[in-house]
């Protein structure tokens, strides 16, 4: 047994109910008593032999038959020891409450709010336990509970919180927003403020309709002049309940839904999902498929970063960069179109491989792109890195220290900008990343400029990876040979009776993975995109949790925005590289 | 009585022509801006209305004209309607003293006229500075009267910005005034005749190149153009002070912005770049023996200078990101102001040591 589990068992005799090491998947999971969660969490965070400084995710599962109905699941990561652990605690239906770990990991704030919102588990000691994805006044219950129907309760038009479109709108008067509605967005309570000294706060509602909020993000800013006193993100405008939907879909049918999470980088979402399912199944992917996956994922990373660069520059006011990056993005999208026929929602990865092969023509076109792309990056640098206004707008803006960034659970370029060289591709190599040479760029100061630099450098590294992959790519099949899971090729289905039956069975019944659970992290352009799947042995996932980097990053928004100016809010939106489709799921 | 009638008729005609040219330029400036920036950004710009999108401004104008006129709830109706006018009128009225061509005098019915300047007042530049300051009221009132927080923030930014940069515009001009010894734009331009080395940007005894740079930067800031477009910073304040404006009122602000661009370009051309004077002594047409038609060349030179300047505005917009509020203020007060003051000091010493003969 893993030494860490031994220590835990020895130290918390009464608290640790069971400890389990899943060797083939290299995962540790511990079940603890709910009332001792804080002790265990404090130990795991503080003890140098454990040092779980990074909170990856908090999620929940519902087992209606069980006396302790709800399970709260914490995913922790130790950056010094490079280990992950899963802590589980059960709470009963009558009193679904558990101590909040926000005091230990600040990033737990948003994650616990999500669990509260979707599963109805109360976290005692949480500073601001409100709904986060569903509307504030949603009183239909908690959607992720198993007794909540997937199609929802009642009709959309009958919900009270949705404005009625068939009735004339009530005239907007200049009436003030009621005090208690404002409270959530103010740094100090209204009453105590008035007694201290007369000071009028200005609440500015930014979004969900705003030119620079990258979709439908709403942030309520408390302002002192132009300076931000408190920034409260309000999420959920794009919440589509993908996790709930997935519980009713066969494993293969979920892939198109992942396209629509981070719609800028669908390939990476596909990749993250199929990797999680493959890990659950214990499926090995042919080598050529691994190379193609790596190449395509890196192309997608370039697209994601180009999109980020364009929008960040546009937010700060440099319009030209936006169009130039879209020019290069267009080339890559054309390649995607040649590869799989789609440009935005690609649905290209398959469980056990990929959908179509890399043709020689595609290889030469990719080479042609790689030959010109470094020059284009230089062009962007000439417009931005050599520009004093750009430097002034990005340096020392939205600074987050390495310790804070880890504590908030940040990942990806946002974390690496603060100088933490955490990259899933290096920590737990997958695809062909361990077979090619590349480096993880890290920043120093954790400001917007460093994050900008990290992403620019990552694009160059992606080019390197693609180039080496193209050179090394072996011949061979592009999808695993596992007839239980993978349908036969389409051309055979049309001619061969056996294949037709095989195809029919897989598509009507799906495949049944073994009972179990697994968490699988993938390095998406935005950060660590993780899929946590609980399988009960049926063809549909019992619970599918998406660990979306954008959502976790929004948890640190207030911390990063305080004290800066309104103009910097825009910079912070840009530097996070958030996509609301992924954030709200 | 007849004399007065002719005078009024001629003045009205002159005003009509200048007004028409300015509005036409504004119209096609919007198209030119979109086209130029599009080419810089590797795209084509408007292509649908008319050949190569030439009629786009007309389509835009018609669209704005037919848009619903919305006054937001809780807005101060009077000031909300007044603000666009307050922004537009000062921008157009400044053209009254701009000399578009040589200082000729034409005699008609025994009365003398100057065809290329509506009114050659001897305090021309002061008149323009005074009126453009009123334009700031339009922006501030528009921002305040909209009853919107974004507009208010935009208006506040505009107030601070226009005031601090207007100071720099004024101080940058002082050097030229010292050398020319006049406030009349016609006289200032006349003093720069005889080749580009007489233009005040290069002129002996002290080239006003620093003043010119300060003027250009401040002019960009005063017209709220990139990189100083904070009052209407799209990504931050939606549209700043005119967030709540629609239809013709919006068009008024829009025209005012472009008219202001043309106005500051005209002033720059007249004060620093020799106005209607060609960069060589005399005029080509004059040297060829048609001195009566020399004015054509001179008007073309003036227009060319103005358009070069306008192109600079577009170029800046395609290149530079936006400054932040505090950076803008710091730059204005801590960098530009000392340069402008230093320029005045040195120029006055130079002007004292080398008095005009």
Task: Answer whether residue A192 shows pLDDT above 70.
Answer: no
Query: Both tokens of residue A404?
Result: 């804070």
Residues of B (21-50) whose Cβ lies below 8 Å from A: 37, 40-43
* Rounded distance between C-alpha atoms, residue B268 and residue B305, angstroms: 9
Q: Is residue A354 part of a domain?
A: yes
Which pLDDT belongs to residue A177? 66
**Which residues make beta-bridge pairs with A76?**
A55, A85
Write out the two tokens for A361: 């023509």
pLDDT digits (tens, 9 = 90+) for A389-433: 888 888 888 888 888 888 888 888 888 888 888 888 888 888 888
Over residues A122-132, mean pLDDT? 86
Q: What is the mean predicted confidence (pLDDT) over A267-273? A: 90
pLDDT at B156: 83
Q: Which residue has the tokens 């709904």?
A: A131
Asked if the peptide bond before residue A218 counts as cis, ω within 30 degrees of 0, the response is no
Q: Provide the b/e sequence for B257-282 (b: ≥16 CB within 10 Å).
A: bbbbbbbbbbbbbbbbbbbbbbeeee
Query: pLDDT-based confidence at B288, cuts 50/70/90?
Result: confident
With CB atoms and an 8 Å threshold, state whether B322 touches A327.
Answer: no
For residue range A557-568, what is the model confidence (pLDDT) as tens digits? 888 888 888 888
C-alpha B116: how far from its chain's center?
A: 17
Nearest to A359 by CA among A487, A480, A466, A470: A470
Residue A188: predicted pLDDT:
66
Six-digit token string for A256:
């198109």
Question: Distance, in angstroms, between A393 CA and closest chain B CA?
Answer: 7
In a domain, A396, yes or no: yes
Dihedrals φ, ψ of B101, to 5°?
-150, -175
Percent of chain A that is helix, strand, coil (3-state, to 5): 45, 15, 40
The verdict on A391 touching B (C-beta cutoff 8 Å) is no
Which CA distances in Å does A545 have to A242, B174, B198? 9, 68, 75
Domains: count for chain A: 2
Continuous H helices in B41-73: 56-66
Question: Closest residue of A to B232, CA-based?
Answer: A317
Contact residues, chain B, for A211 at CB < 8 Å: 234-235, 238
How distant is the alpha carbon of residue B321 from its chain centre?
22
A264 touches chain B (CB under 8 A): no
- pLDDT band for A176, please (50, 70, 90 cuts): low
pLDDT of residue B357: 56
Task: Give the C-alpha distances (Å, rounded to integers) separating B142 from B83, B139, B237.
Answer: 5, 5, 14
Mutate to test the interface with B, among A389, A561, A568, A572 (most CBs of B within 10 A): A389
Q: Tell the residue number behind the tokens 């979709």, with chain if given.
A: A215
Mean predicted confidence (pLDDT) in B48-76: 84
| Nearest partner of A318 among A569, A580, A574, judged by Cα | A574
Q: State the best of A172, A185, A319, A396 to mutate against chain B, taking most chain B CBs within 10 Å.
A: A319
Mean pLDDT confidence for B145-153: 82
Whether A320 and B325 lie within 8 Å, measured CB to CB: no
Q: How far are the Cα atoms of A80, A145, A521, B76 from residue A74, in angstroms, in the given order?
A: 19, 18, 14, 55
Which CB contacts under 8 angstroms, 24+ apart, belong to B22-28?
B22/B92, B22/B95, B22/B259, B22/B262, B23/B255, B25/B258, B25/B262, B26/B255, B26/B258, B26/B259, B26/B262, B27/B57, B27/B58, B27/B61, B28/B57
In a domain, A504, yes or no: yes
Same domain for A409 and A554?
Answer: yes
Q: Is the pLDDT of residue B91 over 80?
A: yes
Tell me the C-alpha distance between A428 and A423, whole Å. Answer: 8
**Rounded Cα distance, B20 and B10, in Å:** 15
Q: Say whether the peptide bond before residue B205 is cis (omega within 30 degrees of 0).
A: yes
Give residue-wise pLDDT tens across range B239-273: 777 788 888 888 888 888 888 889 999 888 888 88
Residues A202-260 have pLDDT tens digits of 788 887 888 777 778 888 888 887 788 888 888 888 888 888 888 888 888 888 888 88
Between CA B94 and CA B132 the distance in angstroms is: 8
* Among A81, A98, A124, residue at a domain's last position: A124
A194: in domain:
no
CB neighbour class for B147 (10 Å; exposed up to 12, middle 13-18, buried from 19): middle
Please, what's the b/e burial string for A428-452 (b: 16 or more CB within 10 A of its CB; e: otherwise)? bebbbbeebebebbbbebbbbbbbb
A317 vs B322: CB contact, 8 Å cut-off?
Answer: yes
A27-32 vs A83-91, strand pairing mode: parallel
Decide if A174 touches B, using CB distance below 8 A: yes
Total domains, chain B: 1
Cβ contact, residue pair B226, A212, below 8 Å? no
Question: In angstroms, what separates the C-alpha of B157 from chain A's closest C-alpha?
Answer: 10
Same-domain check for residues A349 and A484: yes
* Phi-psi domain of B292 (left: phi exceeds 0; alpha: psi -120 through 50; beta: other): alpha
- Whether A174 has a pLDDT exceeding 60, the answer reads no
Q: Does B328 touch chain A (CB under 8 A)?
A: no
Residue burial B179-210, b: 16+ Cβ < 10 Å; e: rest: bbebbbbbbbbbbbbeebebbbbbbeebbbeb
Residue A582 CA to residue A529 CA, distance in Å, equals 10
For the ranges A35-39, A42-46, B231-235, which has the lowest average pLDDT?
Answer: B231-235
Contact between B238 and A211 using a beta-carbon 8 Å cutoff: yes
| Whether residues A252 and A113 fall in one domain | no
CATH of the domain at A378: 1.10.645.10
- Using CA atoms, how far apart are residues A582 and B18, in angstroms rounded to an integer? 56
- Is the per-residue pLDDT at B16 higher than 80? yes
Interchain contact A169–B (C-beta under 8 A): no
B340: left (phi over 0), alpha (psi -120 to 50) or beta: alpha
CATH of the domain at A57: 3.30.460.80
**Rounded average pLDDT over A1-23:** 79
Residue B113 has pLDDT above 80, yes or no: no
- At residue A534's C-alpha, the angle toward residues A529 and A536, to 5°, is 155
State the greatest distance between any 2 C-alpha atoms of chain B, in Å, as a whole number: 67
Residue A16 lies in domain: 3-124
pLDDT band at A17 (very low <50, low <70, confident <90, very high): confident
B332 DSSP assignment: I
Domain membership flag for residue A235: no
Instruction: Tell whether B244 lies on the interface with A, counting CB pairs under 8 A.
Output: no
How far apart are the C-alpha atoms of B227 and B242, rounded to whole Å?
A: 18
Q: How many CB atoms lie within 10 A of CB A253?
A: 15
Percent of chain B with pLDDT over 70: 99
- Picking from A174, A313, A565, the nearest residue to B326 by CB comes out as A565
- Judge whether residue A344 has pLDDT over 80: yes
**Whole-model pTM above 0.90?**
no
Is the CB of residue B232 less than 8 Å away from at least one CB of chain A?
no
**ipTM associated with this complex:** 0.81
B331 in Cβ contact with B323 (< 8 Å): yes
pLDDT of residue A15: 78
Separation CA A577–CA B318 (nearest Å): 23
Q: Does A565 touch chain B (CB under 8 A)?
A: yes
Which two structure tokens, joined as six digits, stand for A209? 């309709």
Provide the shortest C-alpha distance from residue B240 to chain A (in Å). Answer: 12
Q: What is the span of the domain harbouring residue B9?
A: 2-353
Query: Which contacts of B52-55 are long-range, i.e. CB under 8 A and separated by 24 or more positions?
Result: none
Reply yes or no: is the peptide bond before residue B221 cis, omega within 30 of 0: no
Determine contact: A328 vs chain B, CB below 8 A. no
End-of-domain residue from the set A124, A144, A166: A124
Q: How far apart are CA A133 and CA A5, in angstroms?
A: 35
Mean pLDDT of chain A: 84
Tokens 């090619």 belong to residue: A436
Domain end, chosen from A109, A124, A139, is at A124
A327: chain B residues, CB-CB within 8 Å: 42
Q: Is the pLDDT of residue A524 over 60?
A: yes
Work out how many CB contacts closer than 8 A connect A with B: 91
Chain B contacts of A173, Cβ < 8 Å? 73-74
Whole-number pLDDT of residue A198: 52
Q: Tell me which H or E stretch contains A372.
A: helix A360-383
């Amino acid at each position: 047994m893993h030494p860490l589990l031994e220590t835990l068992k020895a130290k918390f005799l009464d608290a640790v109910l069971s400890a389990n090491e899943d060797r083939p998947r290299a995962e540790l999971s511990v079940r603890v008593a709910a009332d001792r969660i804080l002790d265990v969490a404090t130990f795991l965070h503080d003890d140098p032999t454990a040092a779980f400084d990074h909170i990856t995710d908090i999620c929940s599962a519902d087992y209606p038959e069980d006396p302790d109905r709800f399970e709260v699941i914490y995913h922790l990561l130790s950056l010094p020891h490079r280990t992950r652990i899963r802590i589980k605690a059960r709470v009963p239906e009558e009193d679904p409450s558990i101590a909040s770990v926000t005091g230990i990991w600040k990033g737990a704030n948003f994650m616990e709010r999500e669990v509260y919102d979707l599963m109805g588990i109360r976290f005692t000691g949480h500073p601001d336990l409100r709904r986060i994805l569903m509307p504030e006044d949603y009183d239909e219950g908690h959607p992720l509970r198993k007794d909540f129907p997937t199609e929802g309760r009642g009709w959309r038009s009958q919900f009270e919180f949705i404005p009625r479109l068939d009735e004339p709108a009530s005239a907007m008067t200049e009436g003030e927003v009621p005090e208690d509605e404002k409270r959530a967005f103010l740094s100090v309570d209204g009453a105590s403020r008035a007694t201290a000294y007369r000071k009028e706060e200005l609440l500015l509602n930014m979004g969900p309709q705003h030119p620079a909020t990258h979709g439908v993000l709403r942030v309520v800013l408390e302002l002192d002049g132009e300076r931000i006193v408190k920034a409260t993100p309000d999420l959920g405008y794009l919440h589509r309940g993908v996790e709930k939907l997935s519980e009713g879909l066969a494993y293969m049918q979920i892939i198109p839904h992942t396209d629509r999470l981070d719609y800028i980088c669908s390939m990476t979402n596909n990749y993250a999902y199929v990797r999680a399912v493959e890990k659950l199944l214990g499926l090995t992917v042919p080598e050529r498929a691994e190379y193609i996956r790596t190449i395509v994922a890196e192309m997608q990373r370039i697209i994601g970063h180009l999109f980020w660069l364009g929008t960040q520059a546009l937010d700060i006011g440099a319009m030209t960069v936006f169009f130039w990056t879209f020019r290069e993005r267009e080339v890559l999208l054309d390649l995607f179109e040649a590869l799989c026929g789609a440009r935005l929602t690609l649905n290209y990865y398959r469980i056990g491989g990929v959908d179509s092969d890399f043709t020689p023509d595609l290889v030469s076109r990719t080479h042609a792109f790689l030959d010109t792309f470094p020059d284009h990056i230089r062009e962007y640098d000439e417009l931005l890195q050599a520009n004093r206004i750009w430097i002034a707008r990005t340096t020392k803006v939205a600074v987050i220290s390495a310790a804070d960034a880890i504590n908030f659970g940040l990942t990806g370029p946002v974390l690496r900008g603060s100088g933490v060289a955490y990259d899933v591709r290096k920590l737990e190599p997958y695809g062909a990343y361990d077979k090619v040479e590349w480096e993880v760029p890290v920043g120093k100061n954790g400001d917007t400029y460093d994050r900008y630099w990290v992403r620019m450098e990552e694009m160059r590294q992606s080019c390197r990876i693609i180039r080496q992959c193209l050179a090394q790519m072996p011949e061979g099949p592009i999808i695993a040979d596992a007839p239980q899971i993978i349908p036969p090729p389409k051309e055979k289905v049309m001619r061969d009776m056996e294949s037709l039956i095989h195809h029919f069975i897989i598509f009507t019944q799906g495949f049944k993975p073994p009972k179990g659970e697994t968490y699988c992290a993938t390095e998406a352009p935005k950060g660590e995109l993780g899929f946590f799947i609980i399988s009960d042995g049926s063809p549909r996932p019992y619970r599918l949790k998406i660990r979306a980097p954008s959502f976790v990053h929004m948890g640190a928004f207030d911390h990063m925005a305080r004290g800066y100016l309104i103009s910097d809010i825009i910079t912070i939106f840009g530097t996070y590289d958030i996509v609301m489709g992924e954030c709200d799921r | 009585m007849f004399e007065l009638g002719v005078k009024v008729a001629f003045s009205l005609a002159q005003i009509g022509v200048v007004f028409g040219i300015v509005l036409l330029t504004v119209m096609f400036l919007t198209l030119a801006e979109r086209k130029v920036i599009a080419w810089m950004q590797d795209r084509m710009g408007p292509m649908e209305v008319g050949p190569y999108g030439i009629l786009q401004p007309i389509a835009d104008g018609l669209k704005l004209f037919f848009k619903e006129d919305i006054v937001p709830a809780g807005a101060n109706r009077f000031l909300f309607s007044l603000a666009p006018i307050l922004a537009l009128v000062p921008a157009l009225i400044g053209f009254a003293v701009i000399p578009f061509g040589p200082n000729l005098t034409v005699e008609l019915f025994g009365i003398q006229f100057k065809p290329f300047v509506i009114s050659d007042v001897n305090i021309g530049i002061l008149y323009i500075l005074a009126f453009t300051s009123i334009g700031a009221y339009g922006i501030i009132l528009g921002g305040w009267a909209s009853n919107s927080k974004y507009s208010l923030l935009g208006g506040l930014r505009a107030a601070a910005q226009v005031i601090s940069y207007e100071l720099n515009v004024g101080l940058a001009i002082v050097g030229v005034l010292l050398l020319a010894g006049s406030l009349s734009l016609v006289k200032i331009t006349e003093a720069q005749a005889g080749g580009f080395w007489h233009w005040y940007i290069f002129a002996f005894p002290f080239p006003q190149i620093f003043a010119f740079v300060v003027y250009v930067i401040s002019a960009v800031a005063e017209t709220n153009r990139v990189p100083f477009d904070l009052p209407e910073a799209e990504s931050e304040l939606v549209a700043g002070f005119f967030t709540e404006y629609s239809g013709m009122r919006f068009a008024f602000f829009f025209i005012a912005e472009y008219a202001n661009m043309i106005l500051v370009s005209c002033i720059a051309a007249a004060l620093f770049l020799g106005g209607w004077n060609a960069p060589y002594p005399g005029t080509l047409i004059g040297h060829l023996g048609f001195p009566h038609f020399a004015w054509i060349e001179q008007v073309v030179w003036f227009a060319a200078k103005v358009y070069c300047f306008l192109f600079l505005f577009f170029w800046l917009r395609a290149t530079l990101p936006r400054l932040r509020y505090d950076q803008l203020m710091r730059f204005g007060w801590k960098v530009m102001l000392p340069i402008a003051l230093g320029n005045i000091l040195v120029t006055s010493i130079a002007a004292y040591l080398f008095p005009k003969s």
